[in-house]
């Protein structure tokens, strides 16, 4: 059972005398094969939690376990991979796409196997295998983000953490990347921690959702419960602030301002 | 990169210093070959001769020609300086990269040590090492090299930290790439440029330092000689023949300055030139008081111009010179904004949204060209002269930029940077300006604004930095706010607060808003009217409440369907616009969207549809506006729905 478990994790920055607690006793489970959406305002500690999981931020106390074991911090085997927010800074501008992906592949592959694997991964994210020879500078943001996804998958991870992977993208590409995330997750049975500040995006890709506020998780549960019947005030505030929520319910339908009601959520959308 | 270096060398100062450095290097190579004999020859008849036609700088105590000695000495002087620089850079690299390799704790120790070493004067360190390593050239090289190491270590440390914070380094580490490999493959190649530049500068310094040591008798020992040694000998006979000291002294000065200046020029050149795209200027440049006063007068004049339109733009075109003819990112945009109106501009990146805004704010810099048949702001023609209208920013036109990282100066406190605007443009005292800055920070919901105002940009989270940027935009009392992707990086609650803030400013003072965003939902909620841009043109102009369901252009409809909202059907893929955006250097004839459009036919590919009124207050540029579209259930690609 490869559940990713955060157990009472605290992350502190700053000096011993003036500590700043960015993540404060967070417990969270990403069950095998499920997508957990993590939402919350900026500075609430979402990214810090993700960075702690992959070893980029120091864990002050608590533990992060995969299959009941601590995550390996040394060596090539990294069962937890991360995709970053900004597709323009997450690829080394001086390395070709192929080199970037190869770097994350297991070491024991032959040269030919590596090339084949890069081609397979690129095809998996719907990129032309010839793209392996190009530098990231020639790719669009959406294409770069797909390369970043391919690189994360190269290490054959059990869990992928996606930190705001669509917020730096154009809307016209956002849809394609979200479709891809859903498709990959279903095909590969990945577990995912999907961080986003966009509730509509989380609703679209995740099964569970956790709401983070000032370094703590204030509410978590199945998407269908949390987003329909929020218990915490902050979650309600989040729901009320979803762009379009006010327009749909208040302006367009001339109804009073009751965003986030169950009715609004189940209304089917027509594509004319 | 090569092109950037070339551009630097093309500037007059770059060319002069570059040639000088080349000349000095060349001299060092050829001088000993050509003139060694003349420099060594001992002429007992001519001991301590004054300058003459035969000996330009006179002779020394053995009758050797000083001018030629100075020329020949260039080899040894440069060699020693370069070796010392290499030692300094190598040691600096090791020390500077140590924190990355050793991990947090040991790294901190090394950094602390380096910081202490940096505080010692370099020459003192050199003297110390010279004593340790013994008098002589070797000792001096080691001394000067190692004395330069701490400052290099600090530079490397800063550069490494900058690159190491980037996501691609994090990504490599998450992928299990070892620290050493990360350093070699990702970090060093990306900091090579500033390192080389700084090494050049410090080579100049090493040259001077060497002369100093040799002059003190701690460097090169006879019979070998470098410039410092010659200077040392020359000073001994300065009353007999001043030229004996002057010649090597001048040589040191010239060569040292050449390296130093060349490095500085290159550093400056590379620092301000950017590759590709335009550089957004940081908020508002500081200006002299006189300039400010005359601008204030103009501002009053503008305020009296009567018109219902705040902004009226006709046939706006923006172009840049490109390798194969001009690039035209904005190709004839016509729109106007009424008092108090909120106009949204949507479109994918590269569609010309930001350039349209920058053109209006007169912020497009050379070699960009802006043309328009009309461009009026509150009745004043914006086209006559960019500088005359710069003052609009900060007074009656506010601009909120997309990227808060580059819009703030990283070395100054946030509060001070906001106050700057009020101080320069609104004639406030520094104290008033700072109070207003705190008040605005509070208004954009930066928590604990008084304390936050004293912090530096890097101490703000991404979201907070963006809020502060918006606070800067509303420091004045603008009649038009142009906000370019102001909430893109914000989470929804803050985004809502910021949009509400913009809304309240609009309500209070009848301020017009141009909101540029790629987020259709945001624009749809905030704005009265929406312009949809594609490939530098407006393809649809419609009331915001018609976006969802009422749009006619296939591109607008795809955009709307590509974003999930709280009603999106979870069993359907999101709409995908296939293909890539149009390259502004190569705009196809006919409708620019044809290659990606499910409705395109032969006419679309041949004729560009004009933007024409389509009733109910909207305009659309499409031959097949409003024809039915469907969504492919497996890929999300939009398809034509054929009606029988
Ligand atoms: N290296 C650091 N040193 C000090 N404080 C930090 C550091 N990194 C983050 N913080 C602080 O930690 C808090 C949480 O930051 P984090 O980046 O996790 O937020 P986030 O939820 O991802 O926000 P955003 O949506 O803006 O990215 C913020 O208040 C931030 O100022
Ligand atoms: S004019 Fe033709 S190609 Fe262009 S958007 Fe309309 S239907 Fe598509
Ligand atoms: Mg974040």
- Is B400 within a domain? yes
Residues B408, B308: one domain? yes
Select from A51, A151, A179 the Cβ nearest to the Cβ of B175: A151
Select from A100, A238, A269 the Cβ nearest to the Cβ of B569: A269
Q: Which atom of ligand 1 is nearest to the CA of B464?
A: 26
pLDDT band at B489, cuts 50/70/90? low
Highest mean pLDDT among A127-136, A186-195, B198-207: A186-195
Instruction: Please tell me the distance between residue A49's alpha carbon and the centre of ligand 1 in angstroms.
Output: 10
Q: What is the mean pLDDT of chain B?
A: 80
A231 Cβ partners below 8 Å, 6+ apart?
Answer: A219
- Is B539 within a domain? no
What integer pLDDT is reported at residue B365 of this predicted model? 77
Instruction: Please tell me the distance between residue B463's alpha carbon and the centre of ligand 3 in angstroms.
Output: 8
Residues B158, B36: one domain? yes
With the most atoms of ligand 2 within 8 angstroms of its CB, the residue from B552, B579, B620, B622 to mutate is B622
Could you give all domains of chain A from N- to C-terminal order, each with its CATH number?
1-79+159-170+189-272 (3.40.50.300), 84-156 (no CATH)
B492:A103 CB<8 A: no
Within an 8 Å CB–CB cutoff, is residue B470 touching chain A? no
Task: Name the residue in chain B with its Cα closest to that of A155.
Answer: B175
- Is B66 within a domain? yes
Burial A100-127 (b: 16+ CB within 10 A, else e): bbbbbbeeeeeeeebeebbbebbebbeb
pLDDT band at A253, cuts 50/70/90? very low
- For the segment B377-389, the average pLDDT, to the nearest whole number, is 69
Domain count, chain B: 3
Neighbours of ion ligand 3 (CB under 5 A): A 47
- Ordered alpha helix ranges (H), B554-620: 554-562, 602-606
Q: Which atom of ligand 1 is nearest to the CA of B462?
A: 26
- For the segment A174-190, the average pLDDT, to the nearest whole number, is 88
What integer pLDDT is reported at residue B391 of this predicted model? 61
What is residue A257's three-state secondary structure?
Answer: coil
Residues B488, B399: one domain? yes
CA distance B341 to B530: 11
pLDDT band at A246, cuts 50/70/90? very low
Task: Name the residue in chain B with its Cα closest to that of A203.
Answer: B566
Candidate from B116-125, B146-155, B557-566 with smallest mean pLDDT:
B116-125
Highest mean pLDDT among A137-141, B231-235, B338-342, B361-365: B338-342
Please report, for the domain that includes residue B188, its CATH number: 1.10.3720.10
Last residue of a domain, one of B505, B534, B563: B534
The model's pTM is 0.70
Instruction: Please tell me the distance between residue A46's alpha carbon and the centre of ligand 3 in angstroms.
Output: 6
Contact B152, B176 (CB under 8 A): no
The alpha carbons of chain A give a radius of gyration, in whole angstroms, of: 20
Q: Could you tell me which of B348, B352, B370 has the C-alpha nearest to residue B361?
A: B370
What integer pLDDT is reported at residue B334 of this predicted model? 93
The response to whether residue B134 sits with its C-beta less than 6 Å from ligand 1 reads no
Calculate the CA B356 to chain-centre distance.
21
Residues B229, B249: one domain? yes
Residues of A in contact with B354 (CB under 8 A): none
pLDDT band at B211, cuts 50/70/90? confident
- Is B322 within a domain? yes
Q: Could you tell me which of B45, B77, B78, B50 has the C-alpha nearest to residue B66?
A: B50
CA distance B29 to A136: 42
CA distance B631 to chain A (A): 7
Task: Name the residue in chain B with its Cα closest to that of A149.
Answer: B171
Which stretch of DSSP H or E encloses residue B12?
helix B12-40
Residues B332, B248: one domain? no
Q: Is B124 exposed, middle or buried (0-12, 13-18, 19+ CB in 10 A)?
A: exposed
pLDDT band at A87, cuts 50/70/90? confident
Residue that is written with structure tokens 């300055």 in the block: B257
Calculate the CA A1 to chain-centre distance.
21
Select from B490, B575, B581 the Cβ nearest to the Cβ of A175: B575
Contact B218, B135 (CB under 8 A): yes
What integer pLDDT is reported at residue B550 of this predicted model? 86
Contact A174, A166 (CB under 8 A): yes
Interface A–B counts its CB contacts (< 8 A) at 210
- Is B2 within a domain? no
Q: Is the ipTM beyond the 0.90 threshold? A: no
Residues B135, B234: one domain? yes
Residues of A in contact with B167 (CB under 8 A): 84-86, 89-90
pLDDT band at B388, cuts 50/70/90? low
Q: Could you tell me which of A184, A204, A205 has the C-alpha nearest to residue A193?
A: A205
What integer pLDDT is reported at residue B389 of this predicted model? 58
Residue A260 has pLDDT above 50, yes or no: no
Residue span of the structural domain in which B231 resides: 11-41+56-271
Last residue of a domain, one of B504, B534, B564: B534
Residues B225, B306: one domain? no
Residues B525, B580: one domain? no
Please report, for the domain that includes residue B515, its CATH number: 3.40.50.300
Q: Could you tell me which of A244, A205, A238, A203 has the C-alpha nearest to residue A224?
A: A203
Candidate from B70-74, B108-112, B603-607 with smallest mean pLDDT:
B108-112
Residue A266 has pLDDT above 60, yes or no: no
Candidate from B28-32, B139-143, B296-300, B339-343 with smallest mean pLDDT:
B296-300
B240 Cβ partners below 8 Å, 6+ apart?
Answer: B48, B50
CA distance B64 to B69: 8
pLDDT band at B344, cuts 50/70/90? very high
Which residues of chain B from 118 to 177 reach within 8 Å of chain A, CB to CB?
166-168, 170-177
CA distance B155 to B272: 19
Report the share of chain A in percent with pLDDT over 90: 33
Residue A230 has pLDDT above 70, yes or no: yes
Last residue of a domain, one of B208, B239, B271: B271
Residues B217, B327: one domain? no
Residues B521, B379: one domain? yes
pLDDT band at B542, cuts 50/70/90? very high
A104:B636 CB<8 A: no
Instruction: Please tell me the distance between residue A152's alpha carbon and the centre of ligand 3 in angstroms.
Output: 18
Q: Which residue has the higher pLDDT, A2 or B311?
A: B311
Residues B507, B359: one domain? yes
- Is B282 within a domain? no
B564:A77 CB<8 A: no
Candidate from A217-226, B24-33, B116-125, B316-325 with smallest mean pLDDT:
B116-125
Reported as a single tens digit per residue, the pLDDT across B219-257 is 888 788 888 888 888 888 878 788 888 888 888 888 888
Residue B66 has pLDDT above 90, yes or no: no
Collect contacts of B582-590 with beta carbons under 8 A, ≥24 apart.
B582/B350, B582/B534, B582/B535, B584/B327, B584/B328, B584/B329, B584/B350, B584/B352, B584/B535, B584/B536, B585/B322, B585/B324, B585/B325, B585/B327, B587/B328, B587/B331, B587/B535, B587/B536
CA angle B278, B282, B287 (to 5 degrees): 120
pLDDT band at A248, cuts 50/70/90? very low
Q: Which residue has the higher pLDDT, B193 or A80?
A: A80
| Closest protein CA for atom 5 of ligand 1 | A13
Mutation choice for B interface testing from A244, A260, A261 by most B CBs within 10 A: A244
Residues B267, B338: one domain? no
């Amino acid at each position: 059972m490869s559940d990713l478990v955060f157990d009472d994790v605290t992350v502190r920055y700053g000096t011993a005398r003036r500590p700043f607690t960015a993540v404060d006793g967070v417990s969270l489970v990403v069950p095998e094969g499920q997508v957990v959406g993590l939402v919350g305002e900026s500075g609430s500690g979402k990214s810090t939690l993700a960075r702690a999981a992959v070893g980029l931020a120091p864990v002050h106390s608590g533990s992060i376990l995969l299959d009941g074991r601590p995550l390996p911090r040394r060596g090539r085997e990294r069962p937890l991979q991360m995709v970053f927010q900004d597709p323009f800074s997450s690829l080394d501008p001086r390395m070709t796409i192929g080199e970037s992906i190869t770097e994350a592949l297991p070491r024991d592959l032959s040269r030919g196997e590596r090339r084949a694997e890069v081609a397979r991964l690129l095809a998996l994210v719907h990129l032309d295998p010839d793209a392996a020879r190009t530098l990231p500078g020639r790719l669009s943001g959406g294409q770069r983000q797909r390369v970043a996804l391919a690189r994360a998958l190269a290490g054959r991870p059990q869990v992928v953490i996606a930190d705001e992977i669509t917020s730096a993208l154009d809307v016209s590409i956002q849809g394609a990347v979200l479709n891809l995330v859903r498709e990959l997750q279903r095909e590969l049975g990945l577990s995912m921690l999907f961080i986003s500040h966009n509730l509509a995006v989380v609703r679209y890709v995740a099964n569970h959702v956790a709401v983070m506020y000032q370094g703590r998780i204030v509410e978590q549960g199945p998407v269908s419960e949390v987003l329909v019947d929020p218990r915490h005030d902050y979650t309600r505030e989040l729901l009320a602030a979803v762009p379009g929520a006010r327009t749909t319910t208040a302006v367009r339908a001339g109804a009073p301002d009751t965003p986030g009601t169950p009715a609004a959520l189940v209304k089917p959308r027509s594509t004319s | 990169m090569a092109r950037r270096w070339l551009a630097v060398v093309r500037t007059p100062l770059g060319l002069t210093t570059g040639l000088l450095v080349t000349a000095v290097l060349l001299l060092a190579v050829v001088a000993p070959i050509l003139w060694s004999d003349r420099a060594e020859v001992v002429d007992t008849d001519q001991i301590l001769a004054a300058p003459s036609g035969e000996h330009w700088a006179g002779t020394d105590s053995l009758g050797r020609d000083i001018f030629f000695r100075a020329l020949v000495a260039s080899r040894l002087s440069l060699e020693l300086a370069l070796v010392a620089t290499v030692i300094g850079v190598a040691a600096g690299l090791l020390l500077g990269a140590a924190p990355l390799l050793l991990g947090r704790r040991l790294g901190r120790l090394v950094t602390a040590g380096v910081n202490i070493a940096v505080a010692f004067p370099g020459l003192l360190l050199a003297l110390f090492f010279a004593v340790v390593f013994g008098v002589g050239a070797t000792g001096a090289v080691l001394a000067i090299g190692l004395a330069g190491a701490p400052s290099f270590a600090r530079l490397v440390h800063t550069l490494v930290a900058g690159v190491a914070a980037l996501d691609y380094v994090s990504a490599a580490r998450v992928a299990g790439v070892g620290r050493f490999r990360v350093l070699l493959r990702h970090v060093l190649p990306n900091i090579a440029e500033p390192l080389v530049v700084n090494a050049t500068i410090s080579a100049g310094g090493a040259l001077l330092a060497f002369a100093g040591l040799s002059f003190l008798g701690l460097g090169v020992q006879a019979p070998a000689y470098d410039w410092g040694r010659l200077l040392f000998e020359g000073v001994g006979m300065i009353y007999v023949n001043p030229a004996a000291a002057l010649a090597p002294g001048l040589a040191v000065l010239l060569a040292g300055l050449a390296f130093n200046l060349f490095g500085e020029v290159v550093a400056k050149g590379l620092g301000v030139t950017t590759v590709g795209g335009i550089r957004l200027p940081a908020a508002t440049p500081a200006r002299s008081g006189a300039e400010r006063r005359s601008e204030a007068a103009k501002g009053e004049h503008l305020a009296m111009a009567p018109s219902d339109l705040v902004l009226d733009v006709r046939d706006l075109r923006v172009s840049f010179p490109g390798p194969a003819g001009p690039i035209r990112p904005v190709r004839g945009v016509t729109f106007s904004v009424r008092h108090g109106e909120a106009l949204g501009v949507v479109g994918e990146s590269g569609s010309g949204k930001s350039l349209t805004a920058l053109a209006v704010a007169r912020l497009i810099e050379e070699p960009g060209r802006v043309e328009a048949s009309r461009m009026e702001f509150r009745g004043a023609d914006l086209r006559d002269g960019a500088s005359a209208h710069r003052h609009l920013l900060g007074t009656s036109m506010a601009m909120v930029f997309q990227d808060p990282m580059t819009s703030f100066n990283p070395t100054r406190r946030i509060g001070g940077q906001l106050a700057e605007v009020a101080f320069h443009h609104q004639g406030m005292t520094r104290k008033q300006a700072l109070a207003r800055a705190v008040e605005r920070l509070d208004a954009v919901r930066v928590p604990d604004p008084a304390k936050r105002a004293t912090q530096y940009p890097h101490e703000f989270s991404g979201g907070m930095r963006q809020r502060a940027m918006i606070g800067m935009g509303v420091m004045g009392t603008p009649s038009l706010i142009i906000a370019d992707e102001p909430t893109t990086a914000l989470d929804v609650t803050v985004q809502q607060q910021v949009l509400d803030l913009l809304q309240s400013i609009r309500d209070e003072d009848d301020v017009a808003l141009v909101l540029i965003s790629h987020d259709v939902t945001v624009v749809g909620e905030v704005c009265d009217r929406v312009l949809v841009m594609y490939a530098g043109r407006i393809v649809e102009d419609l009331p915001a409440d018609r976006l969802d369901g009422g749009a006619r252009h296939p591109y607008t409809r795809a955009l709307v369907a590509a974003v999930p909202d709280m009603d999106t059907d979870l069993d359907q893929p999101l709409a995908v616009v296939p293909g890539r955006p149009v390259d502004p250097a190569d705009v196809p004839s006919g409708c620019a969207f044809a290659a990606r459009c499910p409705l395109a036919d032969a006419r679309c590919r041949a004729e560009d549809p004009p933007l024409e009124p389509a009733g109910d207050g909207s305009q659309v540029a499409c031959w097949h506006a409003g024809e039915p579209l469907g969504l492919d259930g497996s890929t999300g690609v939009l398809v034509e729905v054929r009606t029988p």
